[in-house]
Structure 1
Amino acid sequence: MSVDQSKIDNEEVLGHPKGLLYLFFAELWERFSFYGMKALLVLYMTKHLLYSDDKSFGVMAAYMSLVYVTPMIGGIIADKYLGYRKSIFLGGVLMAAGHFFLTIETPVFFYGSLALIIVGNGFFKPNISTMVGTLYAEGDKRRDSGFTIFYLGINLGGAIAPLLCAWFAEVYGWHYGFLLAGIGMLVGLLVFKRGTQLAVFGDKGLVPNIKNYEKKIYGLDKGERVWILALLSVPIFALIVKFNEFEHYLVWIATLFLIGYIGYILTKVSIKERKRLLVAVYFTTLYALFAAVFEQAGSSLTLFADRNVDLIGINAAQTNSINSTWIVLIAIPFAMLWTFLSKKKANPHSAIKFGLGMLFLGLGFLIFGMSAQEVNEYAKTPMFYLIFGYLILTIGELFLSPIGLSKITELSPMKYATFIMGVWFSANFYGHFFAGKIAKLTTVREGEAGVFSKGFFGTISETITGLSGTATNGGNAEAFQQLYSYVSVYANFGVITIIIGIVAILISPIIKKLMEGVS
């Protein structure tokens, strides 16, 4: 039976293309697997594998940063050879395998599993986000709202996963938590496959050049060669994660590659596209700064919750669901707000939204720092500050992250759309790399004063936290020293982030002009 494609293309659910519904649920389950594992990883290393804080932060930073550098490569491969659909399927299979192999407790499988997820995410993440962009024509006013709804799917998975996976890990063992994450990834793949079977994506995301794709070399077509190369790259990424102290060399290599390839693209596009592309790079840079601070969640904030927050009703791993839970609660109102303001012609320009996102992020971390003002005799701060701080930084995230996804699809030259989406995700590569450096500032080393305990930074720390670098309380000196190491870092980076946000708002008229009509 033939498919009436024009009818499918016009089908809508809640005022949006029907394909958004399937991408929403596919991403929900993929993020369930990703965030479920992420919530367990640092605690698994520090409590089960007995890694030091420094080593755990190093592995976590390397893993999380590489997860977001591979989308650049996956984007190029999708644009040139595979198309979005085949890339999403390949990525999903590799990620599911990675989660399942984490249940085997040997160093080879531990680092190999992380590498499988790194490679798989490179194929999955940029392509499913770009698929969302293809559902909307240029200038479609529903685009920002659509991406905010898609972002809700990401965070539904992110809210549920830490609660369930952490519960499974606590009751049945760590490996059952990882197993549940792998099952979530398989469900996401099945939802996406069902969408392709029902043709809800129309002709979007197919192989860009089928003749080129089917051309065989040594009996293998392009797709089969990509699968083989993807698997061969796994040991390389596993070694980078294991020997993460050398990751800064990769940062330099990735930076030189980015500069070179973006420079090449700038020579191939029109003046209008060139200006827009430069704005995409500016937004990506802001996002990298945002991520460096924001991604203390999952690393230092998880250990802060475990050691210095008076938790009620949940454990430290489950605190990773707080951010996503807030997004679930306020993402739809935000989506409705953007649509309402657009109708009233009062929607703030995206350049201003980015500045506001940075500002709210900084305020959230100031609240984490202020929690020390009400510390008890056990060096535990009230859980309220953790929850409220997450609310404020979540508002910042909704001003910046889903809007960034939306704008990148508009600002990118069509021929290079998926690569530029990969560049956008590279912000998380840089963000997580530097987030690891920030997290290491929170570690306590006997006999060493932290960088934020003296001088100008020390004054900021004491003003916001109410503690000094010599804070002790009877027999709990060590616990208070650990608390100070966390809140002093959060307070100072909160101030720095607020300043960046204010600067971004001040220069927004210049950015708006360069965007050539994109709002």
Structure 2
Amino acid sequence: MWKSHPKALPYLFLSEMWERFGYYLMIGVFTLYLKDVEAGFAMTEKEASDLYGTFIALVFLTPFIGGLVADRYLGYRKSIVLGGLMMGAGYFMMGIHSLTMLYIAMTLVIVGNGFFKPNISTLLGNFYSTDEYRDKKDEGYNIFYMGINVGAFICNFFGAALQILLGWQYAFMAAGIGMFIGVVVFLLGTKHYTGFDQKKGTQEGDMPFYKIVLFILVPSVVFGIIGWFLKGVQSEVNLDSSIFGSDSTDAFIFACIPVIYFYASLYFKAKADEKRPIGALLSIFAVVILFWAVFKLNGSALTTWADRYTDRQVTGTTEKVFSTLVQSKEITYAKAETELYDEQFRLQKENGEVKKTIDYPVYFRNVAPEKLPEEGTKISVWATNLSQSINPGWVIILTPLIVAFFTYLRSKKKEPSTPTKIAFGLLISALSVLVMVAAVNIGSNGTEKVSVWWLVANYGIITIGELFLSPMGLSIVSKLSPKNITALMMGGWFLSTSIGNKLSGVLASMWDTYDDKANFFWVNFGLLMFATLLMFALVKNLNKVMREKGIN
């Protein structure tokens, strides 16, 4: 696999694998930690989802500035190392149980990812800009993407074991160690980056950095503050009078306005030969926002589904395997406790209240009566955050198959263009949501737990869509971006991811407002189908732009 690719690929693959090990370990336990009433912060579902959505949104917003700084001043290698060190320190600090330290840690991760994420993807793309490797760019990004998901798959087993045995802080420490290993691996490959890590400096026509600070960053902060304090109409479902559901969402949306304006200005001020490629990228960025909005529910709504509505009991050989790996924990059935929860839940719904002391429903409250154990019986259940490994597990399994599939089509000269792959990725992702609609109906709208295979099937289908879309997005940015703003446009891809992530948090925060959970998933299906139709409408023009650039 490696022989036909640049020598730097294994180092970038492994460093990204360890970086994602740390990031997804942290994400896998983040909302569970926030909602833990004993060792966490006892947040409600809405509070945790809102903070989660804001966090992952900002994590993918900072690549805009990180890519720009790398392009002009630091170069890619220094930016990647700096970002990795900041993220590692942030993960360690998350283990300190203090709300202030949590926010400081989140800030380090947010800024660090801004330096790391766009620049390692751009550095990889630089190696495939030569004639020797140009035709293998999509394949190279698929292999790189598999590295991301190897880290994302294995991390949750470590996270579950450490959290069960030692506590939340040790899980976060493991994330930090993983990040630091990623930095070391990246540095070991330094000699292979020569000639591809050159910073491009400020080019003619580029907006000076001080103007970006004055006209983009400062206005973003000001707009964010305005969004935080600006109020809408108060109602029974909008007690804090926010405009878009919460003060943090208002602040984020307003803060994005100057950044979006900046990217629009790149199009209007571009040279004639660069205008159409930039326009093509911006249109793709706009469409894929809706994909990320649904896909990133894995860390919020789908984690809630795994926690509350999925049968997580393990027995027999499976129980022995999980117990050996310390991925399961024992819980005792107490009928009185279950009935007490049901009564509290009924009262809080009648009174429109959310009681932080009962964020975690009793496991047995929606187990079918015939499946309930005897009073006082202990059962073993697998840790909720292991559901986060289903998607990356599918990526590892499916990536070689999809790479082989497109390689075969290429040999027959029938390989679809990158925009066409993205369009089909959106369609396939939309179909995955129908699996969850079926799961809700099978479980009688949450009154009975359903098999984990519904989650496995949902993740399997959306993973195919993801592999058609996400690595292809990284590839097309590298193909179409003007050379002097490649990392900046990579930051634009992550900006769309950021906005989608925040929208994902908004969607997840509404989970409890849907009495019929199927309607929650029908909304997601509608969003993805709308994005699919938009993308197919754009494909013809996007393909034309790519032909003009002489690329596929």
- Aligned match of 2:453 in 357, 360, 384? 384
Whether the 8 Å CA contact 2:288–2:531 is kept in 1: the answer is no
Whether the 8 Å CA contact 1:312–1:383 is kept in 2: the answer is no
Give me the identity figure in percent.
32
- Aligned match of 1:501 in 532, 535, 538? 532
Aligned-pair distance for 1:254?
A: 2.3
1:297–1:503 CA distance, 2 compared to 1 (3 A): same
Measured in 2, the distance between the counterparts of 1:166 and 1:436 equals 23
Residue in 2 that maps onto 1:178? 172
Once the two structures are superposed, the pairs formed by residues 83-98 of structure 1 within 5 Å of their partners are 83-98=75-90
Structure 1 position 364 matched with structure 2 position 432: yes
Structure 1 position 111 matched with structure 2 position 103: yes
Structure 1 position 145 matched with structure 2 position 139: yes
Measured in 2, the distance between the counterparts of 1:429 and 1:142 equals 28
Measured in 2, the distance between the counterparts of 1:290 and 1:77 equals 28
Measured in 1, the distance between the counterparts of 2:384 and 2:250 equals 30
Once the two structures are superposed, the pairs formed by residues 208-357 of structure 1 within 5 Å of their partners are 208=200, 245-264=247-266, 266-271=268-273, 273-313=274-314, 314-357=382-425
Measured in 2, the distance between the counterparts of 1:300 and 1:367 equals 15
Whether the 8 Å CA contact 2:75–2:198 is kept in 1: the answer is yes
Structure 1 position 126 matched with structure 2 position 128: no
- The structure 1 segments of at least 4 consecutive aligned residues displaced by more than 4 Å after TM superposition are 207-210
Structure 1 position 20 matched with structure 2 position 9: yes
Aligned-pair distance for 1:432?
A: 1.1
Measured in 2, the distance between the counterparts of 1:499 and 1:327 equals 25
Whether the 8 Å CA contact 1:168–1:174 is kept in 2: the answer is yes
Structure 1 position 75 matched with structure 2 position 67: yes
Aligned-pair distance for 1:427?
A: 1.2
Measured in 1, the distance between the counterparts of 2:534 and 2:68 equals 33
SS at match of 1:382: coil
Cα distance per residue 1:238-279 (max 9 Å; x no partner) = xx9xx97234233233232232344145424333x2111111
Residue in 2 that maps onto 1:7? none
SS at match of 1:200: helix
Residue in 2 that maps onto 1:33? 22
1:162–1:143 CA distance, 2 compared to 1 (3 A): same
Residue in 2 that maps onto 1:43? 32
Aligned-pair distance for 1:45?
A: 0.6
Measured in 1, the distance between the counterparts of 2:5 and 2:265 equals 36
Once the two structures are superposed, the pairs formed by residues 202-213 of structure 1 within 5 Å of their partners are 202-208=194-200
Cα distance per residue 1:32-67 (max 9 Å; x no partner) = 000000000000011232101111011101100000
Name whichever of 164-173 and 125-134 sits farther off. 164-173
1:518–1:249 CA distance, 2 compared to 1 (3 A): farther
Measured in 2, the distance between the counterparts of 1:398 and 1:368 equals 20
Whether the 8 Å CA contact 2:13–2:148 is kept in 1: the answer is yes
1:112–1:145 CA distance, 2 compared to 1 (3 A): same
Residue in 2 that maps onto 1:491? 522
Residue in 2 that maps onto 1:472? none
Opposite residue 262 of structure 2, the aligned amino acid is G
Cα distance per residue 1:391-413 (max 9 Å; x no partner) = 00000000100001001001100
Opposite residue 203 of structure 1, the aligned amino acid is G
Cα distance per residue 1:349-407 (max 9 Å; x no partner) = 12221111111111111101111232279521221111001000000000100001001
Measured in 2, the distance between the counterparts of 1:293 and 1:412 equals 27
Aligned-pair distance for 1:510?
A: 2.2
Structure 1 position 374 matched with structure 2 position 437: no
Structure 1 position 432 matched with structure 2 position 433: no
Could you list the runs of 5+ residues in structure 1 that have no partner in the other structure?
1-11, 211-228, 445-449, 451-480
Whether the 8 Å CA contact 2:267–2:278 is kept in 1: the answer is no
Structure 1 position 407 matched with structure 2 position 438: no
Aligned-pair distance for 1:499?
A: 4.2
1:337–1:153 CA distance, 2 compared to 1 (3 A): same
Aligned-pair distance for 1:164?
A: 1.4
Aligned-pair distance for 1:13?
A: 2.8
Residue in 2 that maps onto 1:162? 156
Structure 1 position 193 matched with structure 2 position 262: no
1:155–1:105 CA distance, 2 compared to 1 (3 A): same
Whether the 8 Å CA contact 1:374–1:382 is kept in 2: the answer is no
Measured in 1, the distance between the counterparts of 2:161 and 2:384 equals 11
Residue in 1 that maps onto 2:335? none
Residue in 2 that maps onto 1:216? none
Aligned-pair distance for 1:209?
A: 5.6
Measured in 1, the distance between the counterparts of 2:298 and 2:434 equals 15
Whether the 8 Å CA contact 1:366–1:495 is kept in 2: the answer is no
Name whichever of 500-509 and 20-29 sits farther off. 500-509
Measured in 1, the distance between the counterparts of 2:200 and 2:528 equals 41
Could you list the runs of 5+ residues in structure 2 that have no partner in the other structure?
203-216, 229-241, 315-381
Residue in 2 that maps onto 1:419? 488
Residue in 2 that maps onto 1:9? none
Aligned-pair distance for 1:200?
A: 1.3
Whether the 8 Å CA contact 2:390–2:459 is kept in 1: the answer is yes
Residue in 2 that maps onto 1:99? 91
Measured in 2, the distance between the counterparts of 1:372 and 1:264 equals 45
Whether the 8 Å CA contact 2:80–2:115 is kept in 1: the answer is yes
Residue in 2 that maps onto 1:219? none
- TM-score using structure 2 length: 0.76
1:417–1:179 CA distance, 2 compared to 1 (3 A): same
Measured in 2, the distance between the counterparts of 1:124 and 1:499 equals 32
Whether the 8 Å CA contact 1:155–1:325 is kept in 2: the answer is yes
Whether the 8 Å CA contact 2:46–2:510 is kept in 1: the answer is no
- Aligned match of 2:512 in 436, 443, 456? 443
Aligned-pair distance for 1:311?
A: 2.3
Measured in 2, the distance between the counterparts of 1:419 and 1:380 equals 46
Measured in 1, the distance between the counterparts of 2:67 and 2:196 equals 15
Measured in 1, the distance between the counterparts of 2:538 and 2:114 equals 33
Measured in 2, the distance between the counterparts of 1:81 and 1:507 equals 35
Count, aligned residues:
441
